[in-house]
């Protein structure tokens, strides 16, 4: 009898199969003496769409809403049904004794596997592989310590609740807004409050009125000091500022107080996913999605880091004994940093990192014991690995120690202050690449209390208050984390969704709301905009995953909420105007065309929801030549399919009349055939052109 091992994707399945000694490769699985390893392709199963409950829902109408099935059904995703059928065939084999779930060890990974097994009506025993790295050692140990599948039932229920809540609220509110205002308007449980935060910051910026203020800086003996009153250095009254300036110039300054303090800064904890995404955005301008994609490769392909989608920055106590092995693994790329740490037996000085109570499903992201080969990594992979590696190395070094010196001068009743920081021990900052210099500066070190100095010079600086900056991706991630919006695993895709639906734009690394986004937030229910409500839902999902809340009660609340949200939209008297309407009309139905930005450039789409007309604003050019002017013709999609058009000659040709494309072998023959001709150029384009003329 054999165990059926279900991985989340083919690349992971191949690694599991290799470690488990499975060598018989088939199209949809790899078999060995004890195990048959197969895989999903991400999700193979999804929740049924409205039209699967009733065909009338294929047409979106406001009257049909809300759509709330009494029991949510599952269906096989059409594009990947072949892989589901393959798993189904394996599941029916009589030599299969149990299933080992080996999908990603998290909420979504659990859902991927459980929905497949539910659709298969799986009734045999079920076990769970739960590992935090993809190294051979971790896989072998994980298979020796398989956990009972039932141990993760609560995690599965939490995943189902999340999926159904997103379906019920996201689908119904999106359909309600789209049909009422006749423009694709997307809303959701997490994306809407995230958009609301971006809009709130924009409103703060637009309402901001700059105020003029002045600061005073004086040269006192060997130092530069700043005027201060009650911890405020700004003066909003110019005449008052000028009065102070005149009063102190050339006068005696007495050192009233000098305060020296020794301080220390603890080593930073290793990264969780959100903190890593924030740092990668600040340091390299990476989007959250890009960081996650690169991190996933480091985890799956190279096996250099531990599980990415974690919300913990701590390690478990049983990992203490693995620290030296991890240092050894990364030594080839960090010789100078690692050598002294290994000489100290890989002893972690930041002991607070080991805290079992602060590790939930997964510990912090740290390097594995896999041997590092930096030459295998591309530039982006090196950057992300380096962030993780240096944060890990910081755990083995002492705290950063420094001295602060704060001097307070009195000049004619006015207060001037000077501050200085002297580094005593760089400690962990040696490996973080921070611009900190060791040693002490000379300015305040030599001062003694009650000393008197002359104010040699004083100057007034005019400044203006500035509005807050628009959010960067790091800022949005911080706000989402602060309000509990989404999870580390979903935040990147939520941000991308806001960009794709054209409610925000990235400009110079910061988010600007669009006209569409500004209007949408006015149309959406107040309750759905509230980060507090969404945070409560996320907390409830977390409690469900730990068996501390009732999933059925949660879904009852969500259904009631859906009815309420749709009812509010139906009753609303608010108006909306599509901001991207053009003056051009659709050639198929006569409605105005809208301009949209896509990855392939600007496109024009019909504003009518019933019409599917769309074309590139700057048409895609084909290699088809106009029979009259011989210029390249545009490619268009129409009711009758693909056609070619020459704008200059107004000639249209159907795609069916297109000559067969020339393959590489034929290209070489053409080059050989026409190159000897002295009166003909040898560029490939010219050769093909001549060949086509010859064929005519």
The helix or strand, by DSSP H or E, that contains position 251, with its residue range, turns out to be none
Query: To 5 degrees, how large is the angle CA 684–CA 688–CA 689?
Result: 115
Question: How many whole angstroms separate alpha carbon 491 and alpha carbon 475?
Answer: 12
Is the separation of the CB atoms in 6 and 27 below 8 Å?
no
Domain coordinates of the chain in residue numbers? 2-145, 190-206+471-563, 212-266+400-464, 273-396, 584-618, 664-695
Tell me if 431 sits within 8 A of 397, measured CB to CB: yes
From the list 321, 343, 322, 342, the residue with the least C-alpha distance to 331 is: 342
Domains 190-206+471-563 and 212-266+400-464 alike in fold: no
Q: Does domain 190-206+471-563 have CATH number 1.10.460.10?
A: yes
With both helix axes pointing from N to C terminus, report the angle between 551-571 and 172-181 in degrees, rounded to the nearest 10.
Answer: 10
* 447: phi then psi, degrees, rounded to nearest 5: -80, 150
| C-alpha distances in Å from residue 136, one per residue of 15, 104, 175, 298 | 8, 16, 48, 15
Q: Hey, is 407 helix, strand or coil?
A: strand
Task: Report how far residue 213's alpha carbon sits from residue 462's, in angstroms, rounded to the nearest whole number.
Answer: 6
Residue 658's φ and ψ, nearest 5 degrees, are: -70, 135
Tokens of 295: 């991190």
DSSP 171: I
Residue 562 φ/ψ, nearest 5 degrees: -60, -45
> Domain 2-145 falls in which CATH fold?
Rossmann fold (3.40.50)
Query: Which structure tokens are listed for 346?
Result: 């890989």
The secondary structure of residue 354, as a DSSP letter, is B
Chain center to CA of 130: 24
d(CA 183, CA 578): 7
| 644, β-bridge pairs | 635, 653
**The two structure tokens encoding residue 200:** 């709130």
Q: How far is CA 682 from CA 623, 628, 675, 696, in A?
A: 18, 24, 6, 20
Tell me the β-bridge partners of 30.
25, 37
Look at domain 273-396 and name its CATH class: mainly alpha
What is the signed CA dihedral for 421, 427, 429, 433, rounded to 10 degrees? 120
| DSSP 8-state class, residue 395 | G
Q: Which residues are catalytic?
A: 307
**pLDDT for position 643:** 85
Cα–Cα nearest to 367, from 337, 325, 430, 397: 325
d(CA 14, CA 559): 42
Cβ atoms of 348 and 274 closer than 8 Å: no
Interhelix angle 81-91/107-119, nearest 10 degrees = 70
pLDDT for residue 584? 84
Q: Which two tokens stand for residue 646?
A: 């020459």
| CA separation for the pair 464, 511 (Å, rounded) | 24
- How far is 110 from 163, CA to CA, in rounded Å? 12
Partners of residue 411 on adjacent β-strands: 414
Per the DSSP assignment, residues forming a β-bridge with 6 are 38, 101
Which residue shows structure tokens 């399919």? 641
Is residue 654 helix, strand or coil? Answer: strand
Residue 576 CB-density burial (10 A; 0-12 exposed, 13-18 middle, 19+ buried): middle
| Backbone torsions φ then ψ of 141, nearest 5 degrees | -65, -35
Q: How would you label 461-482 residue by residue, b for 16+ Cβ within 10 Å and e otherwise?
A: eeeeeeeeebbbbbbbbebbbe
Distance of alpha carbon 689 from its chain centroid, rounded? 47
The model's pTM is 0.83
Tokens standing for residue 161: 């609740």
Owner of token pair 């009063």: 247
Number of H helices, E strands in the chain: 23, 25
Separation between Cα atoms, residue 66 and residue 569, nearest integer Å: 11
Q: How far is CA 235 from the centre of its chain?
A: 42
pLDDT at 666: 54
Between the alpha carbon of residue 407 and those of residues 124, 254, 299, 587, the distances in Å are 75, 10, 51, 76
Pairwise CA distance, residues 696 & 689, whole Å: 11
**150: its two tokens:** 């039932």
3-class secondary-structure state, position 307 = coil
Number of other CB atoms surrounding residue 423 within 10 Å: 17
The CATH topology of domain 212-266+400-464 is Topoisomerase I; domain 3 (2.70.20)
**Dist CA 382 CA 365 (whole Å):** 15
What's the sign of the alpha-carbon dihedral 645, 646, 652, 656?
Answer: negative
Ranges of residues in the chain with a pLDDT under 70 are 434-443, 445, 599-600, 639, 656-696
Q: How many CB atoms lie within 10 A of CB 253?
A: 24
H-run or E-run covering 494: helix 491-500
Cα–Cα distance, 653 to 630 (Å, whole number)? 14
Q: Quick check: helix, strand or coil at residue 32?
A: coil
Both tokens of 393, joined, read: 């190395």
pLDDT for position 42: 87
Predicted pLDDT at 683? 44
What span, in angstroms and rounded, lies between the C-alpha atoms of 404 and 409? Answer: 17
Rg of the chain over Cα atoms, rounded to whole angstroms, equals 33
């Amino acid at each position: 009898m054999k165990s059926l091992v279900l991985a989340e994707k083919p690349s992971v399945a191949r690694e599991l199969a290799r470690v488990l000694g499975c060598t018989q490769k088939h199209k949809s699985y790899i078999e060995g003496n004890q195990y048959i390893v197969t895989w999903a392709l991400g999700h193979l199963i999804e929740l049924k769409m409205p039209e699967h409950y009733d065909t009338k829902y294929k047409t979106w109408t406001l009257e049909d809403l809300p759509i709330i099935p009494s029991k949510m059904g599952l269906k096989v995703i059409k594009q990947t049904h072949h892989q589901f059928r393959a798993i189904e065939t394996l599941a029916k084999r009589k030599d299969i004794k149990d299933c080992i779930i080996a999908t990603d060890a998290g909420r979504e990974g659990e859902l991927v596997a459980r929905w497949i097994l539910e659709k298969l009506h799986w009734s045999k025993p079920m076990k769970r592989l739960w590992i935090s790295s993809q190294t051979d050692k971790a896989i072998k140990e994980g298979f020796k310590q398989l956990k009972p599948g039932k141990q993760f039932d609560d995690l599965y229920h939490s995943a189902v609740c999340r999926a159904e809540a997103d379906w019920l609220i996201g689908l119904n509110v999106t359909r309600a807004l789209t049909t009422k205002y006749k423009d694709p308007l997307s809303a959701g449980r997490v994306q809407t409050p995230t958009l609301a935060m971006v809009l709130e910051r924009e409103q703060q910026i637009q309402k901001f009125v700059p105020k003029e203020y002045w600061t005073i800086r004086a040269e006192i003996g060997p130092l530069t000091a700043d005027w201060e009153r009650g911890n405020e250095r700004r003066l909003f009254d110019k005449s008052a500022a000028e009065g102070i300036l005149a009063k102190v110039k050339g006068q005696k300054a007495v050192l009233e107080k000098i305060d020296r303090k020794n301080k220390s800064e603890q080593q930073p904890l290793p990264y969780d996913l959100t903190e890593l995404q924030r740092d990668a955005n600040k340091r390299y301008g990476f989007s959250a999605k890009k960081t996650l994609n690169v991190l996933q490769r480091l985890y799956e392909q190279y096996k250099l880091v531990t599980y990415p989608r974690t919300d913990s920055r701590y390690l478990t106590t049983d990992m203490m004994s693995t620290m030296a092995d991890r240092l050894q693994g990364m030594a080839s790329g960090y010789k100078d940093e690692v050598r002294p740490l290994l000489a100290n037996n890989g002893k972690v000085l930041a002991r607070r990192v080991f805290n079992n109570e602060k590790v939930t499903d997964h510990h912090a992201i740290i390097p594995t014991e896999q041997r590092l080969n930096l030459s295998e990594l591309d530039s982006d992979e090196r950057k992300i690995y380096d962030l993780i590696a240096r944060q890990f190395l910081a755990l083995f070094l002492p705290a950063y120690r420094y001295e602060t010196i704060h001097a307070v001068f009195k000049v004619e009743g006015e207060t001037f202050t000077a501050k200085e920081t002297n580094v005593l021990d760089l400690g962990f900052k040696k490996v973080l690449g921070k611009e900190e210099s060791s040693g002490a500066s000379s300015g305040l070190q030599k001062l003694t209390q009650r000393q008197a100095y002359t104010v040699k010079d004083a100057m007034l600086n005019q400044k203006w208050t500035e509005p807050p900056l628009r959010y960067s991706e790091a800022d949005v991630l911080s706000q989402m984390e602060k309000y509990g919006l989404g999870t580390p695993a979903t935040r990147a895709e939520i941000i991308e969704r806001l960009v794709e639906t054209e409610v925000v734009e990235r400009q110079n690394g910061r988010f600007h709301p669009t006209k569409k986004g500004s209007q949408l937030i006015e149309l959406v229910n107040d309750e759905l905009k509230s980060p507090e409500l969404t945070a409560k839902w996320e907390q409830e999902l977390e409690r469900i995953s730990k068996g501390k809340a009732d999933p059925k009660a949660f879904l009852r609340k969500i259904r009631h909420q859906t009815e309420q949200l749709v009812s509010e939209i139906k009753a609303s008297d608010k108006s909306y105007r599509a901001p991207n309407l053009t003056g051009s009309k659709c050639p198929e139905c006569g409605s105005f065309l809208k301009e949209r930005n896509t990855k392939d450039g600007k496109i024009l789409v019909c504003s009518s929801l019933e019409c599917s007309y769309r074309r590139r604003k700057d048409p895609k050019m084909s290699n088809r030549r106009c029979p009259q002017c011989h210029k390249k013709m545009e490619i268009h999609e129409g009711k009758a399919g693909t056609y070619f058009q020459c704008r200059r000659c107004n000639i249209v040709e159907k795609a069916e009349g297109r000559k067969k494309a020339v393959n590489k072998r034929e290209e070489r023959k053409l080059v050989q055939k026409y190159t000897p001709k002295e009166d003909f150029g040898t560029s490939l384009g010219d050769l093909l052109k001549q060949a086509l003329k010859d064929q005519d």
